[in-house]
Structure 1
Amino acid sequence: MAPTSLRVFDSLVKDKTSFSTSDPNGKTVTWYTCGPTVYDEAHLGHCRSAISIDILRRIMRDYFGFSVRFVMNVTDIDDKIILRSRYQYLGTRLQKELESMEKTKAVTEATSIGRAAIKHYLSTHLPLLPSDIALEAYSVEAKRLYHDLVNGEQTDQTAKLEMHMKNCQSGIDALVALESVSDGTALSDFLHKAKDVIHPYLDYLYGTTIDSQDHGIFTGIAQKYEKLYFDDMRALNVLDPDVITRATEFIPQMIKFVERIITKGFAYPTADGSVYFDIAAFEKAGHPYPRLEPGNRNNSALRADGEGTLANKSAVKRNDVDFALWKGSRPGEPAWPTPWSKIGGRPGWHLECSVMASEVLGSEIDIHSGGEDLRFPHHDNELAQSTAYWSTEGKSAPWVNHFLHTGHLGIQGLKMSKSLKNFITLRDLFKRPDWTHRLLRICFLLGAWHDKIEITDEIFKTAVAWESKMNNFFLQALDCARSPQTATAEADATRDKPSALASLERAKNGLHEALCDSFDTPTAMKVISELVSECKNMTSLSDTDLLTVSKWLTRIVTIFGLNPEGEEAVLGQGKGEQLQGPAFDSQILVWHGVEIPFAAQEPIYAAAKLRDDVRQHVLSAGEKVDNNALGKLIEKDQPQPKAEENSTKYYTAATEFRTRMQQLVSENASKKEILSLCDDFRDIQLFSLDIYLEDREDLPALVRPLDASLRRALAERKATAIAAAAAKAKQKAENIEKQLARDEQAKISPGELFRDKALYSEWDELGIPTRDVNGKEITKSARKKLIKLQERQTKLHEEWLGRNRTQ
């Protein structure tokens, strides 16, 4: 479809705008995205941006048909990486030194360092507490002194405070444990658990002694986590970038970039070897700053965050808003020589992306993307310095045509952040049995890419329901392709009724409108869901129409990245296998995860057919099964597996089922025993092989894989059935108890009903009380009530006598 109507939500104009590309032919899109700073494992916050951008990229490429050149940077040198590298270097050095000592001496040394580290951490991050506080008093005093701050409004600052309190508590706990074991067995455990307080202390003491020319100290940690990041992204079915850029590989280009900006009068060097961008000169030349977030111009906290933890606070800048293009390196920081200073230095964070994007994609980029927190100061500073670099006298270069910023992934209202330690790593998330990579992507598809999203139980359940709906639809398509039904006259007669093809056309139009409307995937997901519902509710859905809808849906979900990249297995078959069916197109792809393993298909489908035939024969029989006919049915069409399949677990299960069924028939087993074996094959044998048979009225059982969502559904169904049975049993027990109580009451003779001397003292000849226990005469109104009660008892007693006589 023509992409001319595509509109995108552009952060530059803060609204939807018609998409345009710098390519004169309108076919190629250049795209630069800010990638990760690789100093730790990837977490959910990373995958929010990565998956959402991947979805947009796939839609641009595979739906709208653009040729997309996608470039991503990996920040492999910045303040966070420098600090983490020094921490790791110094921590490893300390551990080796302690391990070389005699154990008692090592414990003494470690204890001394631990106490000093805690004191330093308290004075740096928790100043309300005395730095020499007794370790055993820390917990109580920290909660008391910081109670109001921690229990007030939750912000990133309170989250950071809580993190510091936990870090200090972990360090104290580890130190106490170390001091209680004098033989050094807890030394390694101490160094690990207390690292968040020990490493900053070691850096405070020795960070400046690290050789700034030994770049391997700093790039090694980046290389390690870059590999882990891309491993995680591939597991999430995120496409690899076409080009990956790393800051340390573009140092000469960065130096030339800075030199040009200095020459043009938009930057100035300082005595510490840094170079700052001159905002006043830039604005005087007619360029606005900042463009993305004008309201944050004077936000000193955001500006400081953009400059980094190791920024030189004493640097002499012309204006507070000026930002570093190049940072003069201080002792312990990696350095590269520059023409403007003998000190040497390293690139500023903002400079890296401007240079790498410009070097690879040129002076005009169609799309620049990243998380919404990068708008200011990072992308605003990129825009400023790149505009300064590329603009010529009297002509301002646009540099970026469209800025696309993805929303945050939040936890209880807070941004997920490694620095706040409030993140869940991807590897930890997918250790949980209920989470899958596909479900996570569905969660993001259900929300707008540029809005904040929180993974709640509600959105998780919605994602599970959507996936389950698609599973069931594609299972129906698989079954249709494997066992096509012959069209009937009745089906032909319903052609004038609402058809799947009409619904499909509406869905195509609805989805196109949604994707043209700034990649509106929530609406697109709703369109898909409604199409499946309409098909499901059709009383006559032909195989041809079902497979046509299935083919289109598979294309769309694959574009959304819900099928593995490159997955081209034919519907219902293994790769390379041809399937016969009405109007079957061998290019129909699978909805990944609903097909059972290819090795299981021949034996399990055969066993499922045998089970269907047996159940149909038994259920349609009279009181007694015709075992002779059933025996012939079992022997019919016995599959002959290929030699390599003889030993598979699927063939073994199928063979055992057939053998056991033959044994039951030879023993003239009852209907109940035969049907019980059929149920056991479904619920036990196949369940253990991650396969489930879904019995259907008047249709063969549906063979489906036992995935996480189906396991959940079956578990919920079982739990509901158990709860219903328990409620029924409870009600039955209560009814029995009530009946027994009624029977005990009914046994009493009417004349003995009120013979209770604790209540009454005199009775008449019928047993009705005339005086109470104190000798007071029973009133007329009370006597009338007692007579009515005795009449009721007479009726109950006579009914009881009648029941017991018949027994």
Structure 2
Amino acid sequence: MPNLLRIYNTLTRKKENFEPIHQRIVNMYVCGPTVYNYIHIGNARSVVAFDTIRKYLEYCGYQVNYVSNFTDVDDKIIKAANEQNISVKALTDKYINAYNEDVKALNVKPASNNPRATENIDDIIEFIKVLIKNGFAYENKGNVYYRARKFKSYGLLAHESIDDLEAGASEHVNQEELALKEDPVDFVLWKPAKPGEISWKSPWGNGRPGWHIECSVMATKYLGNTIDIHGGGEDLEFPHHENERAQSEAKTGTTFVKYWMHNGFVTVGDENEKMSKSLGNFVTVHELVKKVDAQVIRFLMSTTQYRRPIQYNQKNLSVAANNLKKIQTAYNNLSYRLDTADDFNDPKVDQEVRQIQADFQDAMDDDFNVQNGIAQVYELAKLGNVYSEREYVFKDTIKLILKKLSTMASIFGVKLQFEALNDEKVERLIEERNQARKDRNFARSDEIREDLKSKGIILEDTAQGTRFRRE
């Protein structure tokens, strides 16, 4: 079947047919966190967005080599380690472990490789040596800078002229650093260490790498000189990704990335303010998963198209929880009917299922349009509910719906499974329902009744109390 997937490429500002370098293999690099604190919902948005994209590519039959780095040395990390009176490695190990716990809770598939900057220092030094040899970099007082103007297409990813970028850089660089640079737009590849700071030996003195160089090195080291997809938040488009592109192509002489992809922000409050640590308006995933079902958080983020912003608030979390529950209820309803279903299948219903799956793929093939994609999952859940109410149902058709519902939902990080209730659990829910009725919380009372019904438990309210029976 010909490939129909189209991806919006930030470099060209248009959707392009997806044609990977290798026919059934996708090499994908996504910028990971700087590990000096717990990740917040804004950080997690990028992780979830590209995990959803990865899962759909795998659904399409691609083998995805997925690399996401850890920046484990920079000014913020050194500052945080000093404040906590621990080593840089102790600090970064702590937050890398926390990151792994948090993304696991969000049902993010582990990366093929999570390289750390500090584990690739020798490669970074060798990379910089080549840039200096090729005339794209220069050293001054232990600092090594990249000559941005020498890279003729600098600014192409940002869609800005280098003169405009230079004007902007001049406003944000202090006079001491300007004196070291040949041009204000030049950026650092290696910086000398201050007394007492973590450092590595190099031809330019003891120091450490700049932020941009580490991703160029790790992307090309683990995935090759040209990779299929490079992803990250839209705030990384410039300068980080622009600088990665300039460094990598100056060294290798070939295209660094075929498809640049950038996800939108998470916003909070009535003003739709971007969530960030610097603004102090962030919610860490580490704390949030203690209060909110992690699968609901994942569902909220994975069902918004990756380029669109997500407004984080209680209302949207509640909507996500309700929609997630509808899918699970349909799965329960169908699963319950398997034991009493007749053999064989219903060809007409099977065809409806396959049409929904085709519509799902059409939606997702349009730059991973998850909003239209999840709408087809809801359609399949609705079909499943209607079918499960029939007097006579067929096992093979139920199994087909269950399989497609589970497979499609899994792309959004949803784990569907049928859990039969024992009598003790039913009695506890009946007690909760009785209390809800006393509190006149009829919405919760009805919710419990419907939830039990979806699992084959029928409640009967009598003068002597509530009884239950299994269908």
Q: TM-score range by the shorter chain?
A: 0.7 to 0.9
Distance 2:154 2:379 in 1: 46
* Structure 1 segment 455-474 matched on structure 2, within 5 A: 455-474=312-331
Deviation, structure 1 residue 246:
0.8
- Matched residue of 1:469: which SS? helix
- Matched residue of 1:386: which SS? helix
- Which residue of 384, 388, 399 maps to 1:547? 399
Q: Is the 8 A contact 1:500 1:549 kept in 2?
A: no
- The 1:296/1:437 distance shift into structure 2, 3 A limit, reads farther
Aligned match of 2:259: 402
Distance 2:325 2:407 in 1: 18
User: Is 2:414 aligned against 1:562?
Assistant: yes
C-alpha RMSD of the superposition:
3.2
Q: Which one has the largest radius of gyration?
A: 1
TM-score computed with the length of structure 2 as normaliser:
0.85
- The 1:221/1:701 distance shift into structure 2, 3 A limit, reads closer
One-letter code of the match for 1:407?
G
Distance 1:262 1:443 in 2: 46
Aligned match of 1:322: 186
Distance 2:155 2:358 in 1: 40
Q: Is the 8 A contact 1:72 1:243 kept in 2?
A: yes
User: Is 2:328 aligned against 1:476?
Assistant: no
| Cα deviation digits, residues 238-273 of structure 1 (max 9, x gap) | 1111111111111111111111111111111112x0
Q: Is the 8 A contact 1:694 1:703 kept in 2?
A: no
One-letter code of the match for 1:323?
F
Aligned match of 2:146: 277
| Cα deviation digits, residues 524-556 of structure 1 (max 9, x gap) | 111111233244346747243333212211111
The 10-residue stretch of structure 1 (537-546 or 243-252) with the greater mean CA deviation from structure 2:
537-546
Deviation, structure 1 residue 325:
1.1
Structure with the bigger percentage of helix? 1
Aligned match of 1:615: none
* Structure 1 segment 306-317 matched on structure 2, within 5 A: 313=177, 315-317=179-181
* Structure 1 segment 671-686 matched on structure 2, within 5 A: 683-684=430-431
Q: Is the 8 A contact 1:278 1:322 kept in 2?
A: yes
- Matched residue of 1:250: which SS? helix
Q: Is the 8 A contact 1:408 1:452 kept in 2?
A: yes
- Matched residue of 2:259: which SS? strand
- The 1:280/1:5 distance shift into structure 2, 3 A limit, reads same
**Greater relative contact order (Cα 8 A, min sep 6): structure 1 or 2?**
2
User: Is 2:419 aligned against 1:595?
Assistant: yes
Q: Is the 8 A contact 1:74 1:244 kept in 2?
A: yes
Q: For structure 1, which runs of at least 5 residues remain unmatched after alignment?
A: 93-216, 392-396, 564-590, 605-649, 654-678, 706-807
Q: For structure 2, which runs of at least 5 residues remain unmatched after alignment?
A: 436-445, 458-471
Deviation, structure 1 residue 451:
1.4
Aligned match of 1:43: 40
- The 1:8/1:506 distance shift into structure 2, 3 A limit, reads same
Q: Is the 8 A contact 2:170 2:185 kept in 1?
A: no
* Structure 1 segment 306-455 matched on structure 2, within 5 A: 313=177, 315-339=179-203, 341=204, 343-391=205-253, 397-412=254-269, 413-432=272-291, 435-455=292-312
Distance 1:244 1:458 in 2: 35
- The 1:468/1:268 distance shift into structure 2, 3 A limit, reads same
- The 1:241/1:680 distance shift into structure 2, 3 A limit, reads closer
| Cα deviation digits, residues 79-105 of structure 1 (max 9, x gap) | 11122122222xx8xxxxxxxxxxxxx
Distance 2:429 2:76 in 1: 55
Deviation, structure 1 residue 687:
8.9
Aligned match of 1:223: 93
| Cα deviation digits, residues 265-322 of structure 1 (max 9, x gap) | 1111112x01111122222xxxx01121133853579859998xx9963542111101
User: Is 2:450 aligned against 1:703?
Assistant: no
One-letter code of the match for 2:43?
H
* Structure 1 segment 600-679 matched on structure 2, within 5 A: 600=422, 604=423, 650=424
Percent identical pairs in the alignment equals 31
- Matched residue of 1:562: which SS? coil
Aligned match of 1:213: none
- Matched residue of 1:353: which SS? helix
- Matched residue of 1:245: which SS? coil
Aligned match of 1:19: 18
Deviation, structure 1 residue 19:
0.9
- Matched residue of 1:295: which SS? coil
One-letter code of the match for 2:24?
K
| Cα deviation digits, residues 574-596 of structure 1 (max 9, x gap) | xxxxxxxxxxxxxxxxx13x514
Q: Is the 8 A contact 1:3 1:516 kept in 2?
A: no
One-letter code of the match for 2:275?
M
- Matched residue of 1:71: which SS? strand
